[in-house]
Amino acid sequence: MAGPRVNLSSLEARPVAPPRRPAGRRAAPAEPAGATQRIVDAITQAVVERRLMPGTKLAEQQIADIFKVSRTLVRQALNQLSRDHLVTLEPARGAFVAQPSVDEARQVFDVRKMVEAAMVRQLCAQITDEQVARLRRHIADEQGAIERTDVPGRTRLLADFHVLLARMLGNEVLARLLADLLSRCSLIALMYQSSHSAEHSQAEHVHIVDALERRDARTAVRLMEQHLGNVERNLRLQPRQHDLASVLHVAPPYPES
Protein backbone atom coordinates (compact mmCIF):
# COMPACT_ATOMS: atom_id res chain seq x y z
CA MET A 1 0.00 0.00 0.00
CA ALA A 2 1.35 3.41 -0.93
CA GLY A 3 2.06 5.78 1.91
CA PRO A 4 0.50 9.25 2.27
CA ARG A 5 1.56 11.76 -0.35
CA VAL A 6 3.62 14.70 0.89
CA ASN A 7 3.43 18.15 -0.67
CA LEU A 8 7.16 19.08 -0.69
CA SER A 9 6.52 22.57 -1.96
CA SER A 10 4.42 23.40 1.05
CA LEU A 11 7.08 22.06 3.38
CA GLU A 12 9.76 24.17 1.70
CA ALA A 13 7.60 27.28 1.88
CA ARG A 14 6.81 26.90 5.58
CA PRO A 15 9.30 28.81 7.78
CA VAL A 16 11.03 26.73 10.39
CA ALA A 17 11.08 28.18 13.89
CA PRO A 18 14.53 28.25 15.50
CA PRO A 19 14.97 25.81 18.39
CA ARG A 20 14.32 27.32 21.80
CA ARG A 21 17.24 27.76 24.17
CA PRO A 22 16.94 27.50 27.92
CA ALA A 23 16.52 30.90 29.56
CA GLY A 24 19.79 32.64 30.37
CA ARG A 25 21.92 30.52 27.99
CA ARG A 26 23.61 32.30 25.10
CA ALA A 27 24.01 30.75 21.67
CA ALA A 28 27.48 29.38 20.95
CA PRO A 29 29.40 31.67 18.58
CA ALA A 30 29.42 30.49 14.99
CA GLU A 31 32.62 28.77 13.93
CA PRO A 32 34.60 30.58 11.20
CA ALA A 33 33.81 29.24 7.75
CA GLY A 34 36.50 26.94 6.45
CA ALA A 35 38.27 26.81 9.81
CA THR A 36 38.91 23.05 9.62
CA GLN A 37 40.58 23.35 6.23
CA ARG A 38 42.59 26.34 7.44
CA ILE A 39 44.04 24.22 10.24
CA VAL A 40 44.75 21.35 7.83
CA ASP A 41 46.49 23.72 5.39
CA ALA A 42 48.58 25.38 8.12
CA ILE A 43 49.83 22.09 9.55
CA THR A 44 50.49 20.67 6.07
CA GLN A 45 52.49 23.75 5.07
CA ALA A 46 54.50 23.57 8.29
CA VAL A 47 55.31 19.95 7.43
CA VAL A 48 56.24 20.76 3.81
CA GLU A 49 58.49 23.61 4.95
CA ARG A 50 60.01 21.27 7.57
CA ARG A 51 59.03 23.46 10.50
CA LEU A 52 57.19 20.61 12.23
CA MET A 53 59.37 17.70 13.26
CA PRO A 54 58.18 14.07 13.12
CA GLY A 55 56.84 12.97 16.49
CA THR A 56 55.79 16.47 17.59
CA LYS A 57 52.68 16.35 19.80
CA LEU A 58 49.77 18.35 18.40
CA ALA A 59 47.80 19.43 21.48
CA GLU A 60 44.14 20.03 20.62
CA GLN A 61 43.61 22.87 23.09
CA GLN A 62 46.75 24.69 21.99
CA ILE A 63 45.73 24.50 18.33
CA ALA A 64 42.19 25.60 19.24
CA ASP A 65 43.62 28.64 21.03
CA ILE A 66 45.88 29.52 18.10
CA PHE A 67 43.04 29.41 15.55
CA LYS A 68 40.33 30.60 17.98
CA VAL A 69 38.05 27.66 17.22
CA SER A 70 36.51 24.80 19.16
CA ARG A 71 38.38 21.58 19.88
CA THR A 72 35.73 19.83 17.76
CA LEU A 73 37.02 21.56 14.63
CA VAL A 74 40.62 20.83 15.62
CA ARG A 75 39.70 17.17 16.04
CA GLN A 76 38.14 17.17 12.56
CA ALA A 77 41.33 18.65 11.09
CA LEU A 78 43.53 16.11 12.87
CA ASN A 79 41.33 13.27 11.63
CA GLN A 80 41.72 14.53 8.06
CA LEU A 81 45.50 14.82 8.47
CA SER A 82 45.53 11.28 9.85
CA ARG A 83 43.82 10.04 6.69
CA ASP A 84 46.53 11.87 4.71
CA HIS A 85 49.21 10.03 6.76
CA LEU A 86 50.68 13.26 8.12
CA VAL A 87 49.38 12.76 11.65
CA THR A 88 49.20 9.70 13.87
CA LEU A 89 46.33 9.43 16.36
CA GLU A 90 47.17 7.40 19.44
CA PRO A 91 44.45 6.33 21.91
CA ALA A 92 44.77 8.08 25.29
CA ARG A 93 47.86 9.96 24.08
CA GLY A 94 46.61 12.30 21.37
CA ALA A 95 47.84 13.40 17.96
CA PHE A 96 51.45 13.45 16.78
CA VAL A 97 53.19 14.41 13.55
CA ALA A 98 53.73 11.13 11.72
CA GLN A 99 57.05 9.28 11.76
CA PRO A 100 57.29 7.35 8.47
CA SER A 101 58.97 3.95 8.54
CA VAL A 102 61.79 2.93 6.18
CA ASP A 103 59.38 0.71 4.22
CA GLU A 104 56.88 3.53 3.88
CA ALA A 105 59.63 5.89 2.67
CA ARG A 106 60.66 3.45 -0.05
CA GLN A 107 57.06 2.89 -1.10
CA VAL A 108 56.39 6.64 -1.34
CA PHE A 109 59.36 7.09 -3.66
CA ASP A 110 58.34 4.08 -5.75
CA VAL A 111 54.92 5.67 -6.28
CA ARG A 112 56.46 9.04 -7.11
CA LYS A 113 58.74 7.51 -9.74
CA MET A 114 55.84 5.73 -11.44
CA VAL A 115 53.52 8.75 -11.34
CA GLU A 116 56.00 11.47 -12.25
CA ALA A 117 57.64 9.57 -15.08
CA ALA A 118 54.25 9.16 -16.75
CA MET A 119 53.43 12.79 -15.94
CA VAL A 120 56.43 14.33 -17.74
CA ARG A 121 56.01 11.95 -20.69
CA GLN A 122 52.46 13.19 -21.18
CA LEU A 123 53.41 16.80 -20.55
CA CYS A 124 56.05 16.71 -23.30
CA ALA A 125 53.29 15.99 -25.80
CA GLN A 126 51.19 19.03 -24.88
CA ILE A 127 53.29 21.64 -23.06
CA THR A 128 52.99 25.17 -24.43
CA ASP A 129 55.63 27.89 -24.72
CA GLU A 130 53.73 29.87 -22.07
CA GLN A 131 53.95 26.93 -19.68
CA VAL A 132 57.67 26.57 -20.30
CA ALA A 133 58.06 30.28 -19.47
CA ARG A 134 56.04 29.72 -16.27
CA LEU A 135 58.38 26.88 -15.28
CA ARG A 136 61.41 29.10 -15.98
CA ARG A 137 59.99 31.74 -13.63
CA HIS A 138 59.38 29.12 -10.99
CA ILE A 139 62.93 27.78 -11.06
CA ALA A 140 64.19 31.39 -10.96
CA ASP A 141 62.16 31.79 -7.76
CA GLU A 142 63.76 28.61 -6.44
CA GLN A 143 67.20 30.01 -7.20
CA GLY A 144 66.36 33.30 -5.50
CA ALA A 145 65.19 31.53 -2.33
CA ILE A 146 68.39 29.45 -2.30
CA GLU A 147 70.58 32.55 -2.65
CA ARG A 148 68.68 34.29 0.18
CA THR A 149 69.03 31.19 2.38
CA ASP A 150 65.25 31.22 2.72
CA VAL A 151 64.99 27.62 3.92
CA PRO A 152 61.18 27.37 4.30
CA GLY A 153 60.64 29.22 1.01
CA ARG A 154 63.06 27.15 -1.02
CA THR A 155 61.73 23.89 0.47
CA ARG A 156 58.17 24.83 -0.47
CA LEU A 157 59.15 25.98 -3.97
CA LEU A 158 61.15 22.84 -4.69
CA ALA A 159 58.12 20.74 -3.76
CA ASP A 160 55.68 22.99 -5.64
CA PHE A 161 57.67 22.45 -8.87
CA HIS A 162 56.31 18.90 -9.09
CA VAL A 163 52.73 19.95 -8.32
CA LEU A 164 53.00 22.69 -10.95
CA LEU A 165 53.87 20.09 -13.60
CA ALA A 166 50.71 18.16 -12.72
CA ARG A 167 48.56 21.30 -12.89
CA MET A 168 49.91 22.01 -16.37
CA LEU A 169 48.23 18.79 -17.44
CA GLY A 170 44.97 20.19 -16.11
CA ASN A 171 44.69 17.27 -13.71
CA GLU A 172 43.77 18.46 -10.21
CA VAL A 173 43.43 14.89 -8.90
CA LEU A 174 47.04 14.23 -9.90
CA ALA A 175 48.14 17.58 -8.43
CA ARG A 176 46.47 16.72 -5.12
CA LEU A 177 48.02 13.24 -5.09
CA LEU A 178 51.47 14.71 -5.66
CA ALA A 179 50.95 17.37 -2.99
CA ASP A 180 50.10 14.61 -0.50
CA LEU A 181 53.13 12.53 -1.51
CA LEU A 182 55.42 15.55 -1.27
CA SER A 183 54.15 16.35 2.23
CA ARG A 184 55.04 12.81 3.27
CA CYS A 185 58.44 13.18 1.58
CA SER A 186 59.12 16.23 3.74
CA LEU A 187 58.60 14.12 6.87
CA ILE A 188 60.76 11.38 5.38
CA ALA A 189 63.58 13.85 4.71
CA LEU A 190 63.41 15.04 8.33
CA MET A 191 63.30 11.50 9.69
CA TYR A 192 66.20 10.21 7.64
CA GLN A 193 68.42 13.30 7.31
CA SER A 194 68.53 13.88 3.57
CA SER A 195 71.88 15.11 2.28
CA HIS A 196 70.45 15.99 -1.14
CA SER A 197 71.02 19.73 -1.20
CA ALA A 198 68.57 22.33 -2.42
CA GLU A 199 71.16 23.42 -4.99
CA HIS A 200 71.27 19.93 -6.50
CA SER A 201 67.47 19.69 -6.65
CA GLN A 202 67.18 23.09 -8.29
CA ALA A 203 69.83 22.23 -10.91
CA GLU A 204 68.01 18.98 -11.69
CA HIS A 205 64.76 20.91 -12.12
CA VAL A 206 66.51 23.15 -14.67
CA HIS A 207 67.55 20.11 -16.73
CA ILE A 208 64.01 18.67 -16.61
CA VAL A 209 62.58 21.95 -17.90
CA ASP A 210 65.22 22.02 -20.66
CA ALA A 211 64.02 18.59 -21.82
CA LEU A 212 60.37 19.65 -21.61
CA GLU A 213 61.12 22.73 -23.72
CA ARG A 214 62.67 20.46 -26.39
CA ARG A 215 59.63 18.17 -26.10
CA ASP A 216 62.14 15.36 -25.54
CA ALA A 217 60.01 12.86 -23.64
CA ARG A 218 62.67 10.16 -23.29
CA THR A 219 65.17 12.55 -21.73
CA ALA A 220 62.56 14.21 -19.52
CA VAL A 221 61.50 10.82 -18.10
CA ARG A 222 65.11 9.76 -17.55
CA LEU A 223 65.96 13.04 -15.79
CA MET A 224 62.88 12.85 -13.55
CA GLU A 225 63.70 9.26 -12.58
CA GLN A 226 67.31 10.24 -11.88
CA HIS A 227 66.20 13.25 -9.83
CA LEU A 228 63.88 11.21 -7.61
CA GLY A 229 66.47 8.43 -7.38
CA ASN A 230 69.09 10.93 -6.23
CA VAL A 231 66.77 12.34 -3.55
CA GLU A 232 66.01 8.83 -2.27
CA ARG A 233 69.64 7.68 -2.34
CA ASN A 234 70.66 10.65 -0.23
CA LEU A 235 68.33 9.55 2.56
CA ARG A 236 69.77 7.40 5.30
CA LEU A 237 67.32 4.57 4.88
CA GLN A 238 69.60 1.78 6.06
CA PRO A 239 68.08 -0.29 8.88
CA ARG A 240 69.06 1.03 12.28
CA GLN A 241 71.72 -0.79 14.25
CA HIS A 242 70.17 -2.80 17.03
CA ASP A 243 73.27 -4.57 18.33
CA LEU A 244 74.04 -2.82 21.64
CA ALA A 245 77.80 -3.40 21.50
CA SER A 246 77.97 -1.86 18.02
CA VAL A 247 75.79 1.07 19.05
CA LEU A 248 77.96 1.82 22.08
CA HIS A 249 81.20 1.09 20.16
CA VAL A 250 82.29 -1.43 22.78
CA ALA A 251 85.25 -3.53 21.71
CA PRO A 252 84.95 -7.28 22.25
CA PRO A 253 86.76 -8.59 25.34
CA TYR A 254 90.40 -9.49 24.93
CA PRO A 255 91.10 -13.27 24.88
CA GLU A 256 92.37 -14.80 28.06
CA SER A 257 96.18 -15.09 28.13
Domain-wise residue ranges, the chain: 34-97, 102-233
| Portion of the chain with pLDDT greater than 70, in percent | 79
Model confidence over 165-182: pLDDT tens digits?
Answer: 999 999 999 999 999 999
Which candidate, 150, 233, 219, places its Cα nearest to that of 189? Answer: 233
What CA–CA distance (Å, rounded) separates 216 from 205?
Answer: 15
What CA–CA distance (Å, rounded) separates 205 from 198?
Answer: 11
**Mean pLDDT over each residue of the chain, to the nearest integer:** 84
pTM of this structure: 0.74
Q: Do domains 34-97 and 102-233 have the same CATH topology?
A: no
Residues in a beta bridge with 95: 58, 89
Per CATH, domain 102-233 is 3.30.479.10 = no
Topology at the third CATH level for domain 34-97: Arc Repressor Mutant, subunit A (1.10.10)
What CA–CA distance (Å, rounded) separates 89 from 120?
Answer: 36
H or E element, residue 95: strand 94-97
> Got the DSSP string for 170-202?
T-HHHHHHHHHHHHHHHHHHHHTT----HHHHH
Model confidence over 72-87: pLDDT tens digits?
Answer: 999 999 999 999 999 9
